[in-house]
Amino acid sequence: MSKISPLAIIEDGSVIGDNVEIGPYCFVSSQATIGDGTTIAQGSCIYGKTTIGKNNRIFSHAVIGSIPQDLKFDGEDVELIIGDNNTIREFTLFNPGTKGGGGKTIIGSHNLFMGYVHLGHDVIIGNHCILANAATLAGHVEMGDYAVIGGMTPVHQFVHIGDYAMVGGASALAQDVPPFCMAEGNRASLRGLNLTGLRRKLKREDIDELKSAYRELFETGKPLKENAANILENTQNHYVHDLCDFVLKTKRGIPFERKNI
């Protein structure tokens, strides 16, 4: 049985699952779907065509699904999709997609979005990510699984951040961060592997393989994509494969200090 405050505004047509809690002064649009076990604290607003999965915790004054901050948006049919077991803290702002970006913003499961986090239009977030306070993602940013963004860090539109990557707090990221790597600074550049995060999830021999590949890619001064293709052809480690494949496919480039041969 759901607990909905009589002071909340729930529009006709919304779909509310079992054991949902909605606090006072919340708003839920007619197009919204709220999954079982989700809690929405006082003053939060769920706008537009927003689908929220099971067991999410949405804290007070979050704004979820309001129209994109894109001047080209003209009322198209767009949506925001959120998975299960996410924690969405106070004063966060999540926008749906746009026609130019496929029409969907998609958020996975088991993520932590701390206070004042902004996710722009057409963003794609994987699973088990952490975005610290006031991290801001512009439109079309993509993040893999287990990625971390430190507080007060803006991310430029169309940037890709790979699995297990970390971006330090108070950075400004304008280029792609490969999986397993750590970047920081303004403008952010690679500082090495995200060893702390990797040691929690990967075997030592896989980390050693990644260390060797990282040195070869970013510390030898050889042409980056040519080097990545050569490593990819010769490795049998799937983590190294993912790292090199990301480098080959990057469109915004990799921010690292290039050394002279």
The secondary structure of residue 260, as a DSSP letter, is: P
Could you read off the pLDDT of 56-75 as tens digits, one per residue? Answer: 999 999 999 999 999 999 99
Residues designated as active site? 121-122, 139
Predicted pLDDT of residue 258: 81
Predicted pLDDT of residue 39: 98
SS3 content of the chain, % helix, strand, coil (to 5): 20, 25, 55
**Residue 36 predicted with pLDDT over 70:** yes
Assigned token pair, 232: 């990819």
**Residue 189 predicted with pLDDT over 60:** yes
Mean pLDDT of 96-118: 98
**Residue 131 predicted with pLDDT over 90:** yes
Predicted pLDDT of residue 1: 76
Predicted pLDDT of residue 259: 72
Could you read off the pLDDT of 156-174 as tens digits, one per residue? Answer: 999 999 999 999 999 999 9
Domains in the chain with CATH codes: 3-140 (2.160.10.10), 198-249 (1.20.1180)
**Residue 127 predicted with pLDDT over 60:** yes
Backbone angles phi, psi at 233, to 5 degrees: -70, -25
**Residue 98 predicted with pLDDT over 70:** yes
User: Higher pLDDT residue, 1 or 65?
Assistant: 65
| Mean pLDDT rounded to a whole number for the chain | 97
Predicted pLDDT of residue 261: 57
Closest to 124 in 3D by CA, of 156, 96, 90: 96
Mean pLDDT of 173-183: 98
Q: Give CA–CA dist 243/254, Å, rounded.
A: 12
Look at residue 221 and give its three-state secondary structure.
coil
Assigned token pair, 8: 């909340």
The secondary element (H helix, E strand) that includes residue 211 is helix 204-218
Predicted pLDDT of residue 235: 96
User: Higher pLDDT residue, 188 or 2?
Assistant: 188
Closest to 52 in 3D by CA, of 26, 69, 31, 78: 31
Could you read off the pLDDT of 46-55 as tens digits, one per residue? Answer: 999 999 999 9
Q: Give CA–CA dist 220/227, Å, rounded.
A: 10
Task: Spell out the residues 6+ positions from residue 178 whose beta carbon is closer than 8 angstroms to its own.
Answer: 162, 165, 190, 243, 246, 247, 250, 254
Judge contact between 257 and 189, C-beta under 8 A. yes
